[in-house]
Structure 1
Amino acid sequence: MLRTATTTALCGLMIATLPGCVRTVTSAATLPFRAANQTADWMTTSQSEADRNRGKKLRKKCEKEYNPDYCGN
């Protein structure tokens, strides 16, 4: 009788803690993929970022020396 009660209590405890374990395992399994995606995002430049950087470079160049070929007005 004691063994059955102990087994039932142990099973109840395992079932109660199982969702936390599943969540932890899922989080640990997806971590490398999230890290790889973030690294790829940091290492690549989007087209809008490239355009913004090019415009900034041209404005600085116009401030230093005026040239009607690449400066507006």
Structure 2
Amino acid sequence: MHARIVAALTLARRNAKLRQVDLAKRLGWQQAYVSRLETGERQLSVDEYVAVALAIGVDPVVLLGEVMAAD
């Protein structure tokens, strides 16, 4: 499930034409941290999931619903 959520966030970021560095800047994080989240090196917390989704410009509830429906 975690991998599917991260993949959905990564796809949403790319669809929004945002680079990792752009997303990191919006969140006040380092680009390397975003990279580690996207590669699965770090686990994404619920708080981080919501923050990332909102920074990308997607509704975190809708995105999670889409991930769950694809199961």
Normalised-by-shorter TM-score class: under 0.3
Work out which structure has the larger RCO, using CA pairs closer than 8 Å and 6 or more positions apart in sequence: 2
- Structure with higher helix content: 1
Provide the TM-score with structure 1 as the length reference. 0.26
The TM-score with structure 2 as length reference comes to 0.27
